[in-house]
């Protein structure tokens, strides 16, 4: 773990690069290089949030920050053009980075697995949120009409 902590910035950068490679190359270039969080919300979020997830992996515990970071990444990928497996596949990119860099030990295996399963839970929650929001939008379109009808019934006109 100490080794990972010492090489944190380098490993996070490689992880970020691999995740961004899941986008078409012409787009990945722009989404990777622009660092302004408002000009490039996807790239900026991944750059920041993957670092938070990595810190958690190395033993730095900030549960709230971890949950928020995982939600940010999964929420974005839940509405993009990915199959569910591709959407949460960014977790496995970390495993590959650690292997490529010679940092992998088998003791990391359960941690990556847990992160992957948690990412899937969050992704699924985002998809459920999406369904709820759609239903609420349908309600919103008719709420006021129903109110008008009910009021008319009340006054008997």
Q: Which of 1, 27, 60, 105 contacts other proteins by CB under 8 A?
A: 27
Of residues 45 and 111, the one with the C-beta less far from other proteins: 45
Considering only the stretches 9-17, 38-46, 94-102, 114-122, report the one whose residues sit in contact with other proteins under the rule CB under 8 A. 38-46
Measuring CA to CA, which residue among 20, 29, 27, 95 is closest to residue 57?
A: 95
Rounded Cα distance between 126 and 15, Å, is 23
CB of 129 vs other proteins, minimal distance in Å = 6
Mutual angle of helices 41-57 and 109-155, in 10-degree steps: 130
Residue 59 sits at φ, ψ, to 5 deg, of: 105, -5
> Residues interacting with other proteins, by CB under 8 A?
23-31, 33-34, 36-42, 44-45, 68, 72, 75-76, 79-81, 129-130, 133-134, 136-138, 140-141, 143-145, 148, 151-152
């Amino acid at each position: 773990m100490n080794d990972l902590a010492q090489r944190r910035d380098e490993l996070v950068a490689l992880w970020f690069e691999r995740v961004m490679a899941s986008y078409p190359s012409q787009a990945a270039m722009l989404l990777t290089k622009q660092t302004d969080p408002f000009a490039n919300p996807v790239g900026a979020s991944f750059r920041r949030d993957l670092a938070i997830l990595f810190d958690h992996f190395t033993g730095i515990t900030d549960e709230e920050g971890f949950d928020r970071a995982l939600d940010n990444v999964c929420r974005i990928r839940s509405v993009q053009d990915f199959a569910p497996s591709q959407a949460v596949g960014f977790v496995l990119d970390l495993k590959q980075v650690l292997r490529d860099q010679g940092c992998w030990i088998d003791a990391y295996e359960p941690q990556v697995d847990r992160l992957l399963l948690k990412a899937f839970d969050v992704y699924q929650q985002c998809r459920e949120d999406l369904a709820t929001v759609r239903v609420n939008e349908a309600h919103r379109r008719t709420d006021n009409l129903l109110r008008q009808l009910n009021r008319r019934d009340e006054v008997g006109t």
